[in-house]
């Protein structure tokens, strides 16, 4: 797979108007106050889901909620504070949602960062890996019991085609400021998204009706993309609105259940894509899982 020759199909396999009615469904979307996450929240809300928009910036998150209410006429959209740079915040966010005693049918792990300089989370984890993978890993595990009790349900992890540039995960060097360039850190975190999805399926979801899949949303014109690729690729990018289509396909399309899609990787617009060889490595997925669990336990014990 070569991400530098990726093109978006002219004909869309999935579009917003194919989203079924979601009355009675409850959804969580991380990073929902802007970009792909915002349009994901908007369209879920438009189809009558009860949506929780999760984000770090309270002011922007609440503003996004009010805009979505105005645009869709559905008042069942709420903001919950989530700072993925803090494992404590992840735990508090999960507890706040669980205290509502609602079902959870759709969990979309959408938030992501790519850093301009080497930086650590509040827990001392390299930021790309910590935000893009570790925070979402913990959030998903904390909400798993609720998700399984609400099945049929979906878990959607937004990865990137740039995962294919990662040649594994260098666990021992993740927090070494001199070990990788900025792009390599992001690529490894996006590879982790896919490996986590597949290992999660194997450990917890076999035989049930919880469908966990990962995706590449497309080369979406966002600040994150502009820090990750060349000007040539940016010129062929799609809008954040179109970037939400594949996420919404994984989250809502009846095809996911009809075709029993689990641990699959999708590309625009709702088409199954090809993972890199490293993303298919079951041993690497297992090692990542164990490494992440140990890392979380170690960091939380320090609190």
- Quick check: helix, strand or coil at residue 37? helix
pLDDT range class, residue 104, cuts 50, 70, 90? very high
pLDDT(1) > 50: no
pTM of this prediction?
A: 0.95
Give mean pLDDT, residues 243-254.
98
Q: What is the mean pLDDT of the chain?
A: 93
Q: Who wins on pLDDT, 207 or 275?
A: 275
3-class secondary-structure state, position 236:
coil
Q: Is 249 a catalytic residue?
A: no
Mean pLDDT throughout 101-118? 94
What token pair was written down for 104?
A: 């959870």
Tens-digit pLDDT profile for residues 176-185: 888 767 789 9
Write the pLDDT tens digit of every residue in 254-295. Answer: 999 999 999 999 999 999 999 999 999 999 999 999 999 999
Taking CA atoms, 28 is separated from 140, 146, 161, 165, in Å, by 11, 12, 24, 29
Which pair of tokens denotes residue 195?
């490996």
Find, among 132, 49, 138, 124, the residue nearest to 95 by Cα: 138
Q: Find the helix or strand (DSSP H, E) in which 177 lies.
A: none
**CA 106 to the chain's CA centroid:** 12
Whether the Cβ atoms of residue 114 and residue 224 lie closer than 8 Å to each other:
yes
Which has the closest alpha carbon to 212: 146, 153, 291? 153
Catalytic residue among 186, 249, 261, 278: 186
Domains of the chain: 18-302 (3.40.50.720)
Most confident of 3-17, 234-248, 259-273: 259-273
Residue range 3-26: average pLDDT?
88
């Amino acid at each position: 797979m070569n991400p530098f020759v990726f093109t978006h199909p002219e004909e869309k396999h999935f579009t917003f108007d194919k989203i079924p009615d979601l009355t009675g469904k409850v959804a969580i979307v991380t990073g929902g106050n802007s970009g792909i996450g915002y349009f994901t929240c908007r369209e879920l809300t438009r189809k009558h889901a009860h949506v929780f928009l999760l984000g770090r910036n309270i002011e922007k998150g609440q503003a996004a909620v009010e805009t979505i209410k105005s645009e869709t006429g559905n008042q069942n959209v709420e903001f919950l504070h989530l700072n993925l740079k803090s494992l404590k915040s992840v735990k508090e966010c999960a507890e706040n949602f669980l205290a509502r005693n609602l079902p959870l049918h759709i969990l979309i792990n959408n938030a992501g960062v790519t850093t301009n300089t080497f930086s650590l989370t509040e827990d001392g984890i390299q930021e790309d890996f910590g935000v893009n993978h570790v925070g979402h890993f913990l959030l998903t595990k904390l909400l798993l019991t609720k998700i399984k009790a609400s099945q049929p349900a979906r878990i959607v992890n937004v990865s990137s085609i740039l995962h294919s540039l990662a040649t594994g995960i260098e666990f021992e060097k993740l927090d070494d400021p001199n070990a990788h360039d900025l792009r390599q850190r992001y690529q490894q975190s996006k590879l982790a998204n896919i490996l986590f999805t597949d290992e999660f399926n194997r450990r917890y979801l076999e035989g049930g009706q919880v469908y966990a899949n990962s995706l590449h949303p497309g080369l979406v014109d966002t600040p994150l993309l502009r820090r990750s690729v060349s000007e040539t690729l940016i010129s062929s990018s799609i809008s954040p609105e179109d970037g939400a289509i594949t996420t919404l396909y994984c989250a809502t399309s009846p095809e996911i259940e009809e075709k029993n899609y689990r641990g699959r990787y999708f590309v625009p617009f709702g088409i199954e894509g090809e993972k890199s060889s490293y993303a298919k490595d079951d041993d690497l997925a297992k090692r990542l899982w164990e490494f992440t669990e140990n890392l979380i336990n170690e960091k939380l014990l320090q609190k």
